[in-house]
């Protein structure tokens, strides 16, 4: 008996609906409230989140960890991977709050650490590191904890972070270390412009990271790129206040992996110390920087818009055999300060237009060589 086309379409639709419903049924959700979490911001909910992780990690199929709206007090939590499934969603509609006493997590390294967590996606979430007290301690010169990174992703593949907000981290906000194929989108980082060592996003020993559509305001580098980073794509990121987007520092150790294949485009800098920067120590190293593209950057009231510094030495202490010198941070828009032993070569400037207080800015070059094309302002010193 022949089946007409309309009947075939109905059968296909029915089968598709059953298949979709089956997928929805197979995803199990672990609500942290069901596991003992409290939304008062005072009761320790660490155990509830760890129980939810353990359950999701051991689930034979896709799983979601869900935290409804509210404030959850969480001490340091280590979410270890090697999970049965590679589809764990961590959906947080509320705020995770670190202990107000910075000594509780100040020396543990990471407040929240995902390690070996392949295929995890983190959706939403406000992470409040409550770092103000530790910043105040450090400003006095007293002995203080080094501080905890708010969110660490370590030795993981195919991790996605979408719509996360990090507030007032004790130290770095987000660190991607030893990973492969990570994506961060719609991330917000908020901290005081004078908060010390609070890099927004730090990437190292990692390949294949994409950072998109994010806004970072902090007291250190908005994005810092460490040794062993490759295939990094940064696009549509707003930075300020902060120290800009920096490759480095590099070369502190002799045996060190290099940085390569980095693209930074369609980024804006406002009221930052630096814009686009490469910084290395003035000592021999196996490290390198190559295949880097900075494109379509807009600077507003940036002290040092473009910097290559091969004499990096913070606080001018124990500097490795180099004379430390500088120029006015406000007038010099382009600065290439390269070493005599290993000068900068192959620099190419194209269509750079930077001014200082509506007047011509200045460029400073030491041991640097390269070419220019298009409109170059300030006048090139290469």
Catalytic residues, which ones? Answer: 243
3-state secondary structure at position 45: coil
Three-point CA angle 218, 222, 224, nearest 5°: 135
**CA dist., res. 382 & res. 364, Å (int):** 9
Q: Can you spell out the DSSP letters for 198-261?
A: --SEEEES-EEEEEEEEEEE-SS-SEEE-TT-EEEEEEEEEE-SSS-EEEEEE-SSSS---EEE
3-state secondary structure at position 56: helix
Q: Can you spell out the DSSP letters for 285-348?
A: -S--EEEEEEEEEEEES-SEEEEEESS--GGG-S--S-------TTTEEEEEE--SSS-EEEEE
Residue located via tokens 């070369």: 251
R_g of the chain, CA atoms, integer Å: 24
Letter string b/e over residues 198-227, b meaning 16 or more CB atoms within 10 A of that residue's CB:
bbbbbbbbbbbbbbbebbbbbbbbbbbbbb
Specify whether the CB–CB gap between 287 and 252 falls below 8 A: no
Beta strands 201-204 and 230-239, pairing class: unpaired
Closest CA to 74 of 40, 47, 34: 47
Three-point CA angle 265, 242, 314, nearest 5°: 110
CA terminus-to-terminus distance, the chain: 82
Q: Which conformational region is residue 38 in: left (phi greater than 0), alpha (psi within -120 to 50 degrees), or beta?
A: beta
């Amino acid at each position: 008996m022949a089946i007409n086309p309309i009947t075939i379409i109905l059968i296909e639709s029915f089968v598709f609906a059953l298949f979709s419903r089956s997928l929805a049924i197979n995803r199990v959700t672990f609500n942290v409230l069901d596991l003992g979490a409290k939304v008062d911001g005072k009761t320790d909910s660490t155990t509830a989140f760890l129980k939810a992780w353990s359950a999701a990690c051991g689930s034979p199929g896709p799983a979601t960890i869900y935290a409804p709206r509210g404030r959850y007090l969480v001490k340091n939590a280590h979410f270890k991977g090697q999970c049965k499934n590679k589809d764990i969603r961590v959906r947080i509609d509320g705020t995770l709050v670190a202990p107000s006493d910075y000594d509780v997590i100040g020396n543990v390294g990471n407040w929240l650490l995902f390690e070996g967590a392949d295929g995890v996606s983190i959706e939403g979430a406000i992470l409040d590191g409550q770092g103000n007290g530790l910043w105040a301690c450090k400003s006095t010169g007293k002995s203080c904890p080094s501080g905890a990174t708010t969110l660490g992703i370590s030795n993981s593949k195919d991790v996605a972070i979408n719509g996360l907000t990090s507030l007032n981290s004790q130290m770095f906000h987000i660190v991607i270390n030893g990973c492969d194929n990570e994506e961060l989108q719609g991330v917000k980082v908020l901290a005081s412009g004078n908060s010390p060592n609070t890099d927004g996003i730090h990437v190292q020993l990692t390949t294949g990271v994409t950072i998109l559509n994010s806004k970072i305001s902090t007291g250190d580098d908005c994005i810092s790129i460490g040794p062993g980073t490759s295939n990094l794509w940064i696009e549509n990121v707003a930075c300020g206040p902060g120290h800009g987007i920096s490759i480095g520092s590099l070369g502190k150790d002799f045996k060190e992996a290099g940085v390569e294949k980095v693209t930074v485009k369609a980024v804006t800098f406002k009221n930052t110390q630096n814009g686009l920067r490469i910084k290395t120590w003035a000592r021999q190293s196996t490290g390198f920087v190559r295949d880097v593209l900075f494109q379509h950057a807009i600077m507003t009231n940036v002290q040092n818009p473009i910097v290559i510094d091969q004499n990096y030495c913070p606080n001018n202490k124990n500097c490795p055999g180099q004379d430390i010198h500088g120029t006015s941070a406000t007038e010099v828009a382009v600065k290439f300060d390269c070493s005599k032993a290993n000068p900068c070569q192959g620099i190419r400037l194209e269509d750079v237009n930077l001014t200082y207080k509506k007047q011509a800015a200045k460029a400073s070059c030491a041991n640097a060589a390269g070419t220019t094309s298009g409109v170059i302002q300030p006048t090139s010193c290469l």
